[in-house]
Amino acid sequence: MEAHISRGALGVAVAVALAAFVGGLSLGTTSGASGPPASPSPSSAEAGSALSHLRYRATTPRMPYDEALESFDYHPAPPLVETPIDGYYMRIVELDEVGGPHWGLPFHCRRCPAFRVDPGVETLLLYRGRYWLEHQMSGFRAYGHYEVRGDRITIFNDPHCSQVRGRYRWSRTGTALSFQVIEDVCPFEDERPDDLMFSSWIAVRPCRSGIQYWWPALIGCRGGESGVQP
């Protein structure tokens, strides 16, 4: 009889412990929406391990600009000085906008035309005459140099269009940056203008958001710095 009671008591204790553990995870998840999750108790290894998966871990390196990031200068590179449109920009292209699942699914293709608009997250970093463009789902990347004079921007030294300069007008409304082509004969029909003009690029501040991935790096996000400003 005593053994039977002990097993019953043990079952109740285990049920209570599991309920408390699950409840603790739920509270940790809920509190994360309004503030950082509380540090796990060092006396609970299991809870600590579970809570560690709920934290957002920034893995993109924060670094100053480095010459290793420089595009090859088919034409002389511009001086490393600030421009009016410096900043981190991104947009999210929906699958239906590029033809749906039959035509629009991204795929990695080394022989396909460059600058094809892909669904998903696309990022554009403009930093002191240097730019980096990435389509995250397909893995397409482009980079090079740019010069800004008034409302005109000239892009060049992109390995995909190494000898070609693209000229555009730029405008910004709030945080939205838009381009309008003047002349760009990059040898992929109109792929590069179509990509840059497909939709507006929205300025963001990834240095302060703890974003997990940005190519090639979070330039200038060291210590308390916020990097280039939108």
Give pLDDT tens digits for 20-43: 433 443 333 333 344 444 444 444
d(CA 155, CA 164): 9
d(CA 62, CA 175): 23
Average pLDDT over residues 34-59: 45
Please name the residue ranges forming H helices in the chain: 2-32, 45-52, 100-103, 191-197, 206-209
Q: Which residue has the tokens 């760009």?
A: 184
Nearest to 77 by CA among 149, 130, 22: 130
CA atoms within 13 A on the CB side of 61: 7
Give pLDDT tens digits for 107-124: 666 666 678 788 889 999
Q: Which residue has the tokens 């293709």?
A: 109
- Two structure tokens written together for 95: 């699958």
More confident residue, 15 or 198: 198
- Two structure tokens written together for 57: 């871990």
pTM, whole model, 2 decimals? 0.67
Domain ranges of the chain: 2-52, 62-219
- Checking if the pLDDT of 161 tops 50, the result is yes
d(CA 71, CA 23): 52
Cβ atoms of residues 119 and 137 within 8 Å: yes
